Structure 1
């Protein structure tokens, strides 16, 4: 049962960016619709399973929602600057590095030599898989795709998305206590970002992105539940199997052209990545 919960974030986060793209909404409409969908899911969950939320957990979870909104806005924005099949693996790998280092160095989830050997080996496999999925035949095209502003945007997105997860783990907040205040932080941040927007939000595009928020919420809840049982160092890497779904799905749906060599690199990269995910799934704190 645990392993099923572990792979729900992978499926949800793999499908989420594709769903958001298919709505043909603006960045603000995607972010706002996703946040509203998350709030509706959180309210429904809270009605079914009420969770006591003290002041400190509420504030911490609310702040984590702010981090998510900032990271997700940059995540969606990166699709306009570089291909989604490149942006997704890069941001996911940065998120993975940040959360794993936090879990191992701050939370001390890896203790034995075996855990460190297996953990480092699995991370190397995952990062090698990410690099392979981002491979492009034309090196000139690759270098042009990553000017300094783009690199900074990807790094900031990865750090923000890492922070939204680890801040709750640091304060040991339960999954059910996180969801509602976190979604409220997401919504408030999205609305604040819209104040600087030049275009008014469209009702229909926002409505379409409610499904994005629902998918994200289910995936996020599953991640916090699984990490409570197995630790963040083992939980998040498994969820990064979403790279395989999002990468291949984005290429097909976004109609990105790939050469045979690039397809081979992508498929090999996904295989190596999944080997790393399988290795790290064996580790528990």
Structure 2
């Protein structure tokens, strides 16, 4: 049963990029719809648990708002280079950044051996990410599109780093994770609302595509909620490792469900690179 709980976030976050691609709309519709769905689940959870701590509320809300920055960059990248290319890149950037922050700020990977294996794991992730960018042939247009996507994806990933790091601060040290779930979802909604107000001058709030994308926020937040229960039942390391299946699901889904062309050597390098990203993430989880 515990493993089944652990699979929920892996599957949910894995199919999320495919759902967003099927729902359509502009990035403003997608991120605002995600925020609306997340707020709905957050409110229901708040009513059922009534778990919000005053000290952690504002930091948790800020954490959710920063998540919007990372997710917006991901949505933009989906439209530029596709899900199957974006997800390994985005996952790799997130893993490298959060791992290094964990070592530098929180003293993780204690001991020389742990650090050696940790940095080897990061090297594997970087190599894996680079392998997923290999195309079928050299194409100047493809290269320029990839470069444009990277200039958006890499800086916005900082939002994911902050989202992941803030709950580790002693102020937010809640082993259950439930006390910061609602404020994070609220932060996601507020951050998405600000983005939609600025980018669409408020039009996104009345567009049908926004409300359709609410399902994405529901899937994301239910998966995040399931991860909290999984970490408690299985341990953080095991729960985290299992969630890394999401990048496999989303990348393969992009290729075979969304029919994003990856053939020949591009397919081979993508699959091998994906394997390295997953292996690297598994190693970092157990250090």
Do both share a fold (TM > 0.5)?
Answer: yes
Q: 1:230 to 1:162 in 2, by over 3 A?
A: farther
Q: Does 1:239 align with 2:243?
A: yes
Distance 2:69 2:285 in 1: 29
Q: 1:230 to 1:128 in 2, by over 3 A?
A: farther
Q: Does 1:179 align with 2:181?
A: yes
Distance 1:224 1:157 in 2: 25
Q: Does 1:216 align with 2:215?
A: no
Q: How does 1:9-88 map to 2 (within 5 A)?
A: 9-54=9-54, 56-88=55-87
| Alpha-carbon RMSD | 2.7
Distance 1:87 1:152 in 2: 12
State the 1:231 CA deviation: 5.8
Distance 2:231 2:20 in 1: 26
Q: 1:200 to 1:230 in 2, by over 3 A?
A: closer
Counterpart residue number, 2:266: 262
Q: 1:219 to 1:158 in 2, by over 3 A?
A: same
Asked if the contact 1:67/1:161 (under 8 Å) is kept, the reply is yes
Distance 1:227 1:122 in 2: 22
1:189 to 180, 188, 191: 191
SS of equivalent residue, structure 2 residue 172: coil
State the 1:163 CA deviation: 1.0
Q: How does 1:130-169 map to 2 (within 5 A)?
A: 130-141=129-140, 142-147=142-147, 150-169=149-168
Asked if the contact 1:62/1:184 (under 8 Å) is kept, the reply is yes
TM-score between both structures, scaled by the size of structure 1: 0.85
Between the two proteins, the alignment pairs up a number of residues equal to: 280
Distance 1:235 1:107 in 2: 20
Distance 1:134 1:238 in 2: 24
Give unmatched runs, 5+ long, in structure 2: none
Output one character per residue of 1:40-84: Cα deviation in whole Å (capped at 9) or x when no partner.
Answer: 111222222221421x31110111121111221221112222233
Asked if the contact 2:25/2:210 (under 8 Å) is kept, the reply is yes
Counterpart residue number, 1:118: 117
Distance 2:116 2:70 in 1: 31
Distance 2:130 2:272 in 1: 11
Q: 1:116 to 1:6 in 2, by over 3 A?
A: farther
State the 1:180 CA deviation: 0.9
Asked if the contact 1:29/1:209 (under 8 Å) is kept, the reply is yes
Q: 1:10 to 1:127 in 2, by over 3 A?
A: farther
Q: 1:126 to 1:12 in 2, by over 3 A?
A: farther
Bigger fraction of residues in helix: 2
Counterpart residue number, 1:206: 210
Moved over 6 A (4+): none
Give unmatched runs, 5+ long, in structure 1: none
Distance 2:239 2:128 in 1: 18
